[in-house]
């Protein structure tokens, strides 16, 4: 029996005493599900705890320390493509879903303070129920994803508030020793600017709790944006496979000068085809979609080599001017550029049938793809994108409430390098990714998100059916080969999955510091061991050597 398991039974008794027996899951079938992700994982969830308050969380942490049992916090545990709910090593999941209060809403200063169990759906419904004109940001993941969980992973969405880590502050954190702090001005009990500023006085601590295992966040403030006077989405198509670089070069000045305030997302043909329908099993059997099939599918579904979307936010005059600048920037670089606002979208919906007859295109099908993206640009969460995780499954996609890619054996791995926003860098990354995936027998689905003003995140998707013998191993081999090749070229991943969390960092001084921080904050190593940690043995620090 290993050390973790030996302390477990006593810890379970103590946790049940604090939380109540019904809030400590030990049912093997539930634990098996919780240890299952969208790719092969080996570690086991040994139990699942469901605290309801931050005091419960503190108590759970103290017990974990007493019995040396590792705890892995999750907010909604839908970290699909990066590890879902599964722990990095054997340990107990701390499911924060019951901490689901919106603690504070300030309509004038445009923020909410929320707990980890608050989902995208919950906040959207809350704002709607208040008749608020404030918009939240939403990711393309499920409406039932946690906003806190996504932010802590440095996730991103679609509106001007889409870079989540930079639009959140005042993290309330339970430290591994059970104490609580609030970051920023939260160090002062009475500071009225706590929810308004990421900086405090002195060193800023927020960053310590993003993609880390230094604390459990039990609340944070998330900023909202006032609905603009006018909003228009734009969509463009580019038939030239080499056309992405020039598009990025054309759009970057508009990002830097503030004309384009939100993230822009540009998907390749594979990505769009996967989002818009089921795999054509009749055409290719179990193989990879080859160029001949792609040509036909592009023609059939009106899909270009690259398809992009973005939003324009402001007064009517500002949006009109932004439109002019976008048109001018993209002239000659795209084959189609369309602007859509609420009025035009509702007109298209009403006239879908006659429009289909006149244009020969299935306008309803087009609207089904368009509407969710349009909504995301306004911060409206959607349940429609998750179907793409089932792309290589021969089974039908379950109804929205039943969707569960972990349970259904959907193979999904995201490999997400961070790239300078230049045409040449982005072309280098997309070419390398495309070649690597095809060489390993996977379709190279890719999107490029112009996430901030200067850098892009390229999300390369490895999608497969986990039921296919050997597919899990092949997918991880492909992921590893791509991650290493990208890092070598200067494009490390911005976010890691739990199977490959310990991709070695290159600077040993950086590693020393991380290790020193970890051992100072969590001397018993009970919080999420292995999560965003350097590989064992890499850069062992003086402090660790002293402690040993």
Ligand X SMILES: Cc1cc2nc3c(=O)[nH]c(=O)nc-3n(C[C@H](O)[C@H](O)[C@H](O)COP(=O)(O)OP(=O)(O)OC[C@H]3O[C@@H](n4cnc5c(N)ncnc54)[C@H](O)[C@@H]3O)c2cc1C
Give 87 or 200: the residue with its C-beta nearer to ligand X.
87
Q: Is 385 in the site for ligand X (CB under 6 A)?
A: yes
Q: Per-residue string for binding with ligand X, 172-211, x by CB under 6 A?
A: ----------------------------------------
Task: Identify the residue among 91, 149, 311, 372 touching ligand X (CB under 6 A).
Answer: 149
Task: Identify the residue among 140, 186, 530, 534 touching ligand X (CB under 6 A).
Answer: 140
- Show contacts with ligand X in window 301-360 (CB under 6 A): none
Task: Identify the residue among 135, 156, 185, 236 touching ligand X (CB under 6 A).
Answer: 156
Query: Is 403:386 a contact under the CB 8 Å cutoff?
Result: yes
Q: In degrees rounded to 5, what are phi and psi of residue 469? A: -55, 135
Task: Identify the residue among 153, 206, 406, 465 touching ligand X (CB under 6 A).
Answer: 153
Give 235 or 532: the residue with its C-beta nearer to ligand X.
532
Give 11 or 498: the residue with its C-beta nearer to ligand X.
498
As measured in angstroms, the least distance from the Cβ of 459 to ligand X is 8
Give Cβ neighbours of residue 270 (< 8 Å, ≥ 6 apart). Answer: 289, 294, 443, 444, 445, 446
List, as own/partner pairs, every contact residues 435-441 make where C-beta atoms lie below 8 angstroms and the sequence separation is at least 24, other chains included. Answer: 436/478, 436/481, 436/482, 436/485, 437/462, 437/478, 437/482, 438/288, 440/474, 440/477, 440/478, 440/481, 441/288, 441/474, 441/478
Q: Is 75 in the site for ligand X (CB under 6 A)?
A: yes
- Counting residues that bind ligand X (by CB under 6 A) gives 32
Task: Identify the residue among 31, 96, 127, 451 touching ligand X (CB under 6 A).
Answer: 96
Q: In degrees rounded to 5, what are phi and psi of residue 401? A: -70, -20
Helix axes 352-359, 342-350, angle to 10 degrees: 80
Q: What is the DSSP string of 68-80?
A: T--EEEESS---T
Which of these ranges, 2-10, 71-79, 188-196, 437-445, lies near ligand X under the rule CB under 6 A? 71-79
Query: Is 478:471 a contact under the CB 8 Å cutoff?
Result: no
Give 250 or 279: the residue with its C-beta nearer to ligand X.
279
Q: Is 531 in the site for ligand X (CB under 6 A)?
A: yes
Q: Is 433 in the site for ligand X (CB under 6 A)?
A: no
Q: Is 388 in the site for ligand X (CB under 6 A)?
A: yes
Is the CA virtual torsion 233, 310, 495, 214 positive or negative? negative
Give Cα 428 to chain centroid, integer Å: 23
Q: Is 148 in the site for ligand X (CB under 6 A)?
A: yes
Give Cβ neighbours of residue 366 (< 8 Å, ≥ 6 apart). Answer: 302
Residue 4 Cα distances to 10, 47, 90, 199, angstroms: 11, 12, 8, 38
Task: Identify the residue among 4, 34, 112, 141 touching ligand X (CB under 6 A).
Answer: 141
Q: Is 115 in the site for ligand X (CB under 6 A)?
A: no
User: Which tokens hold the place of 346?
Assistant: 């509702």
As measured in angstroms, the least distance from the Cβ of 532 to ligand X is 8
Task: Identify the residue among 78, 252, 333, 496 touching ligand X (CB under 6 A).
Answer: 78
Q: In degrees rounded to 5, what are phi and psi of residue 484? A: -70, -40
Give 218 or 259: the residue with its C-beta nearer to ligand X.
218
Task: Identify the residue among 145, 225, 305, 446 touching ligand X (CB under 6 A).
Answer: 145
As measured in angstroms, the least distance from the Cβ of 333 to ligand X is 25
Task: Identify the residue among 117, 143, 155, 184 touching ligand X (CB under 6 A).
Answer: 155
Which of these ranges, 21-29, 100-108, 143-151, 311-319, lies near ligand X under the rule CB under 6 A? 143-151
User: Which tokens hold the place of 438?
Assistant: 């095809």
As measured in angstroms, the least distance from the Cβ of 209 to ligand X is 7
Radius of gyration of the chain (CA): 24
Q: Is 369 in the site for ligand X (CB under 6 A)?
A: no
Strands 71-74 and 91-95: parallel
129/111 Cα distance (integer angstroms): 16
Give 213 or 541: the residue with its C-beta nearer to ligand X.
213
194/184 Cα distance (integer angstroms): 6
Q: In degrees rounded to 5, what are phi and psi of residue 46? A: -90, -20
Which of these ranges, 138-146, 181-189, 418-426, 472-480, lies near ligand X under the rule CB under 6 A? 138-146
User: Which tokens hold the place of 269?
Assistant: 């043909």
Which of these ranges, 14-22, 137-145, 252-260, 302-310, lies near ligand X under the rule CB under 6 A? 137-145
175/372 Cα distance (integer angstroms): 38
Q: Is 471 in the site for ligand X (CB under 6 A)?
A: no
400/387 Cα distance (integer angstroms): 9
As measured in angstroms, the least distance from the Cβ of 355 to ligand X is 29
As measured in angstroms, the least distance from the Cβ of 425 to ligand X is 21
336/353 Cα distance (integer angstroms): 22
Instruction: Using CB under 6 A, list all residues that contact ligand X.
Output: 73-81, 96, 116, 139-141, 145-146, 148-150, 152-153, 155-157, 216-217, 385-386, 388-389, 528, 531
């Amino acid at each position: 029996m290993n050390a973790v398991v030996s302390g477990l039974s006593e810890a379970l008794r103590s946790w049940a005493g604090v939380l109540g027996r019904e809030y400590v899951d030990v049912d093997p079938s539930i634990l098996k599900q919780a240890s299952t992700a969208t790719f092969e994982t080996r570690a086991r969830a040994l139990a699942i705890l469901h605290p309801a308050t931050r005091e419960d969380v503190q108590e759970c942490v103290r017990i974990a320390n007493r019995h040396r049992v590792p705890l892995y916090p999750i907010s909604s545990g839908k970290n699909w493509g990066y590890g879902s709910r599964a722990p990095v090593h054997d340990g107990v999941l701390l499911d924060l879903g019951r901490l689901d209060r919106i603690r504070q809403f300030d309509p004038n200063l445009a923020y909410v303070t929320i707990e980890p169990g608050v989902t995208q759906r919950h906040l959207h419904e809350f704002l709607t129920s208040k008749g608020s004109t404030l918009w939240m940001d939403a990711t393309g993941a499920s409406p039932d994803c946690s906003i806190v969980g996504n932010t802590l992973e440095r996730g991103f969405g679609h509106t001007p508030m889409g870079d989540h880590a930079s639009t959140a502050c005042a993290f309330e954190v339970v430290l591994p020793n059970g104490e609580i702090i609030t970051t920023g001005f939260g160090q002062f009990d009475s500071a009225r600017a706590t929810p308004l500023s990421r900086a405090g006085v002195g060193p800023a601590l927020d960053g310590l709790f993003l993609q880390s295992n230094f604390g459990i966040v039990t609340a944070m403030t998330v900023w909202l944006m006032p609905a603009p006077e006018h909003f228009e989405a734009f969509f463009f198509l580019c038939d030239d496979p080499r056309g992405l670089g020039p598009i990025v070069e054309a759009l970057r000045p508009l990002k830097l000068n503030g004309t384009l305030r939100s993230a822009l997302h540009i998907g390749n043909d594979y990505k769009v085809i996967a989002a818009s329908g089921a795999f054509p099993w009749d055409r290719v059997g179990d193989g990879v979609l080859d160029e001949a099939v792609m040509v036909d599918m592009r023609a059939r579904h009106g899909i270009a080599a690259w398809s992009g979307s973005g939003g324009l936010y402001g007064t009517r005059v500002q949006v009109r001017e932004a439109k002019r600048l976008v048109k001018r920037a993209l002239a000659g670089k795209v084959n189609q550029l369309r602007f859509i606002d609420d009025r035009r979208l509702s007109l298209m919906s009403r006239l879908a049938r006659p429009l289909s007859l006149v244009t020969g295109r299935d306008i309803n099908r087009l609207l089904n793809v368009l509407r969710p993206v349009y909504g995301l640009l306004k911060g409206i969460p959607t349940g429609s994108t998750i179907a793409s995780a089932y792309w290589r499954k021969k089974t039908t996609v379950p109804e929205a409430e039943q969707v569960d890619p972990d349970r259904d054996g959907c193979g999904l791995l995201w490999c997400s390098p961070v790239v300078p926003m230049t045409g040449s860098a982005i072309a280098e990354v997309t070419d390398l990714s495309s070649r690597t995936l095809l060489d390993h027998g996977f379709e190279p689905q890719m999107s490029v998100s112009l996430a901030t003003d200067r850098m892009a995140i390229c999300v390369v998707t490895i999608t497969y059916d986990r039921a296919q013998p050997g597919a899990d191993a092949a997918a991880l081999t492909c992921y590893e080969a791509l991650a290493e090749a990208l890092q070598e070229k200067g494009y490390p991943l911005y976010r890691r999955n739990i199977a490959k969390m310990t991709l070695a960092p290159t600077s040993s001084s950086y590693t020393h510091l991380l290790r020193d921080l970890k051992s100072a904050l969590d001397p018993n190593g009970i919080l999420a061991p292995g999560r965003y940690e350097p590989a064992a043995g890499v850069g062992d620090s003086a402090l660790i050597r002293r402690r040993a």
